[in-house]
């Protein structure tokens, strides 16, 4: 994978939950920014059996350089939840590297 830059919007974040996603009612990609702030992006299911979810980034969502942490979080209709393993990704300032 190439480098990811601040303000990049041609970007799909894809994560695997390692659980079958049959019967989920919501999927999000949670994150922690380099400045310590956290939040989440809405996500769609990419592969139910393999447990893959993804988010198509919008302009301005990736707004700070440094180490970001992303992880999947899904909620099933019966109230159960599942988290995926965290992925640490460095976001570069445009023109650097």
- Is pLDDT of 95 > 70? yes
- More confident call, 1 vs 39: 39
pLDDT of residue 80: 94
- pLDDT (0 to 100) of residue 41: 98
Whether 33 shows a pLDDT value over 90: the answer reads yes
SS (H, E, C) the chain: CCCEECCCCCCEEEEECCCCCCCEEEEEEEEECCCCCEEEEECEEEECCCCEEEEECCCCCCCCCEEEEEEEEEEECCCCEEECCCEEEEEECCCCC
pLDDT at res. 94: 85
Task: Report the predicted TM-score, pTM, of the whole model to 2 decimal places.
Answer: 0.91
- pLDDT recorded at residue 1: 52
């Amino acid at each position: 994978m190439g480098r990811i830059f601040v303000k990049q919007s041609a970007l799909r974040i894809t994560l695997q939950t390692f659980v079958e996603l049959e019967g989920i009612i919501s999927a999000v990609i949670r994150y922690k920014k380099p400045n310590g702030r956290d939040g989440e992006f809405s996500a769609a299911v990419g592969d139910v059996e393999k447990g893959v979810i993804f988010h198509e980034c919008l302009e301005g969502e990736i707004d700070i350089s440094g180490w970001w942490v992303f992880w999947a979080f899904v909620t099933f209709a019966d109230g159960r939840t599942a988290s995926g393993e965290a992925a640490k990704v460095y976001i570069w300032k445009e023109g650097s590297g």
